[in-house]
Amino acid sequence: MSSQQALRAALLSSLVVACSSQRPADTSAATAEAAVPSRSTSDGTPAASSAGSPGGAGSALGGSAAPGAGSSAASGAGSPVVPAAGSLAASGAEPRTALAEPTFDAIAGVLFADRASPSAAAASCPPSTPPDARVRCLFDLRYRGDAKAAGLAHELFVKWRVVAGVEVAHTMNGGYRGMIRLEPAVPTGAERKHLEWIVTAMRDFDDSFAALDRRAAGAEVSRSKRFRFEPITLRFMRSVAARTPSAYAHDWTVAWNLAGSLHRSADAVRETLFHEIFHLNDYAHPPPGGEAWSPSALGATFDAVVKKCGTSIACLGPYSPNDTIVRGGTYYSFQPGNGVREYAAELAVRYYREQRAELRGSKAESPTGRPPAGAARFKCGPPENARAWALMRDEFFGGVDVVPACGS
Give the sign of the dihedral formed by CA 257, CA 231, CA 54, CA 139: positive
Instruction: Tell whether 408 is covered by a domain.
Output: no
What domain range includes position 391?
293-396
Cβ proximity of 47 and 39 under 8 Å: yes
Q: How far is CA 184 from CA 114, 166, 222, 255, in A?
A: 7, 5, 38, 10
Q: Which runs of consecutive H residues, i.e. helices, occur in 287-338? A: 293-309, 313-316
What is the number of structural domains in the chain? 2
The pTM of the whole model exceeds 0.85: no
What is the pairing mode between strands 163-166 and 170-173? unpaired
- At which of 227, 250, 284 does a domain end? 284
pLDDT at res. 31: 24
Mean pLDDT for each 10-residue chunk of the chain (408 residues)? 46 30 26 38 41 29 29 32 31 51 95 94 94 97 98 98 97 79 97 98 95 74 72 96 91 96 94 97 94 97 98 96 90 93 97 94 71 81 97 93 89
Cβ proximity of 197 and 266 under 8 Å: yes
Measured in whole angstroms, how far is the alpha carbon of residue 369 from the centre of its chain?
23
Instruction: Tell whether 368 is covered by a domain.
Output: yes
Tell me, what amino acid is at 97?
T
Q: Do 227 and 157 have their domain in common? A: yes
- At which of 284, 304, 321 does a domain end? 284
Q: Do 202 and 66 have their domain in common? A: yes
pLDDT at res. 216: 73
- At which of 253, 284, 315 does a domain end? 284
Q: Do 151 and 265 have their domain in common? A: yes
Instruction: Tell whether 405 is covered by a domain.
Output: no
Instruction: Tell whether 54 is covered by a domain.
Output: yes
β-bridge mates for residue 80, sequence order: 103
Cβ proximity of 324 and 46 under 8 Å: no
Q: Do 280 and 337 have their domain in common? A: no
Which H/E stretch holds residue 203? helix 192-215
pLDDT at res. 370: 66
Q: How many degrees, rounded to 5, is the angle at CA 121 between CA 118 and CA 124? A: 135
pLDDT at res. 307: 97
Burial of 363 per CB tally in 10 Å (0-12, 13-18, 19+)? exposed
- From first CA to last CA, the distance across the chain in angstroms is 61
